[in-house]
């Protein structure tokens, strides 16, 4: 099945998926796991974190309190706040865990994929690092240690990622040279997470806190 395309309002001017751009801090340093075949509680148990709150559809704020804090700490104000937070949810067969501080390890994609599953990890750091790790059935099948470039990175792309890459590259950006979100779009498209922030916040979500 083809991966769903991003609508024009599902991607920010920086090329970042809208729901992630709205969750992120102003200068994002964040990461994302997606895995097919596990529920959010199981994934949080593997990547680490203490579940502190479940948000009902529509409970996540429509916007941030200010441009620097991000909506997740704002949503957790009543639960004691905190910066090291993960947001988990599900769409179809795929579960995602988004880390607002980029504190996850790409090697865990292999662990998540054991037992015939598929998983992927992406990180974008404030220092400019962007990486993708993709795994199937416990083994790594693709690594990318920079932003995806179709002129150099098409070789050895596994079947699992081909449609997702097509969906990520189909986005029409005003300035393609200032594309900060291509790797995030690839991993989001793999799991069907091509929604707007408003669509995203209409799903039940689990918030977890963790220590460095």
For residue range 129-161, what is the model confidence (pLDDT) as tens digits? 889 999 999 999 999 888 888 877 877 889 999
Between 180 and 113, residue with greater pLDDT: 113
pLDDT at 74 over 70: no
Question: What is the pLDDT of the chain when averaged over all its residues?
Answer: 84
Buried b (16+ CB within 10 A) or exposed e, 148-174: beeeeeeeebeebbeebbebbeebebe
Strand positions, DSSP E, the chain: 30-36, 50-55, 85-91, 94-99, 118-124, 130-136, 139-144, 205-209
Residue 98 has pLDDT above 80, yes or no: yes
Q: Residue 29: name the closest of 96, 102, 84, 88 by CA.
A: 102
């Amino acid at each position: 099945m083809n991966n769903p395309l991003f609508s024009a309002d599902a991607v920010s001017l920086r090329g970042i998926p809208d729901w992630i751009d709205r969750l992120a801090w102003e200068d994002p340093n964040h990461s994302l796991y997606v895995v097919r075949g596990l529920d959010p509680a199981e994934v949080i148990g593997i990547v680490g974190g203490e579940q502190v709150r479940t948000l009902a559809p529509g409970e996540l704020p429509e916007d941030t309190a200010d441009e620097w804090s991000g909506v997740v700490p704002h949503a957790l104000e009543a639960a004691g706040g905190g910066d090291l937070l993960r947001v988990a949810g599900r769409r179809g067969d795929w579960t995602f865990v988004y880390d607002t501080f980029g504190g996850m390890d790409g090697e865990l994609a292999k662990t998540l994929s054991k037992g015939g599953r598929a998983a992927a990890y992406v990180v974008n750091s404030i220092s400019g690092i962007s990486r993708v790790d993709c795994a199937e059935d416990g083994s790594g099948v693709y690594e990318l240690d920079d932003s995806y470039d179709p002129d150099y990175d098409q070789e050895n792309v596994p079947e699992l990622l081909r449609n997702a890459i097509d969906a990520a590259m189909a986005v029409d950006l005003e300035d393609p040279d200032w594309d900060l979100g291509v790797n995030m779009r690839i991993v989001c498209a793999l799991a069907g997470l091509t929604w707007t922030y408003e669509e995203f916040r209409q799903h039940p979500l689990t918030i977890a806190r963790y220590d460095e």
